[in-house]
Amino acid sequence: MRTDIDHLPAAKQRELERIVEILFDEFGQATENATGRRKGARILKIILFGSHARGDWIDAPLSANQYKSDYDILVIVSQKELTDRAAYWAKAEERLIRAYTIEKTLRTPVNFIVHSLHEVNDGLAHGRVFFMEVAKDGVALYEVDGSELVAPKPKTPQQGVDTAREYFEEHVASAAELLEIYKFCIERRSWKKAAFNLHQAAESLYQGLLLTLTYYTPYNHNIAFLRSLAEGLDRRLYGIWPADTHRERAMFQKLKEAYTKARYSKHYRISEEELSWLGARVEELGRVVHQVCSERIAELEAAARK
Is it the case that residue 66 has pLDDT exceeding 70? no
Is it the case that residue 64 has pLDDT exceeding 60? no
Q: Is the pTM of this model over 0.85?
A: yes
In 3D space, the residue among 19, 124, 128 whose CA is nearest the CA of residue 70 turns out to be 19
Once rounded to an integer, what is the mean pLDDT over residues 153-160? 95
> Using 50, 70 and 90 to split pLDDT, how confident is the model at 103?
very high
pLDDT value of position 138: 97
pLDDT value of position 147: 85
* 64-73, 142-151, 192-201: segment of lowest average pLDDT: 64-73
**Percent of the chain with pLDDT strictly greater than 90:** 87
Superfamily for 157-305?
Answer: Nucleotidyltransferases  domain 2 (1.20.120.330)
Is it the case that residue 62 has pLDDT exceeding 60? no
Answer for the pair 130, 123: CB distance below 8 angstroms, yes or no.
yes
How far, in Å, CA of 4 to CA of 2, rounded?
6
pLDDT digits (tens, 9 = 90+) for 21-58: 999 999 999 998 776 666 678 999 999 999 999 999 98
Fold match between domain 10-143 and domain 157-305: no
Q: Locate the domains of the chain by residue range.
A: 10-143, 157-305
Once rounded to an integer, what is the mean pLDDT over residues 183-199? 98
Average pLDDT, the chain: 94
pLDDT value of position 244: 84
- Class of the domain covering 10-143: alpha beta
In 3D space, the residue among 216, 198, 199 whose CA is nearest the CA of residue 207 turns out to be 216
Is it the case that residue 265 has pLDDT exceeding 60? yes
Once rounded to an integer, what is the mean pLDDT over residues 178-203? 98
Is it the case that residue 77 has pLDDT exceeding 90? yes
Is it the case that residue 65 has pLDDT exceeding 60? no
Once rounded to an integer, what is the mean pLDDT over residues 231-254? 91
> Using 50, 70 and 90 to split pLDDT, how confident is the model at 76?
very high
How far, in Å, CA of 223 to CA of 200, rounded?
9
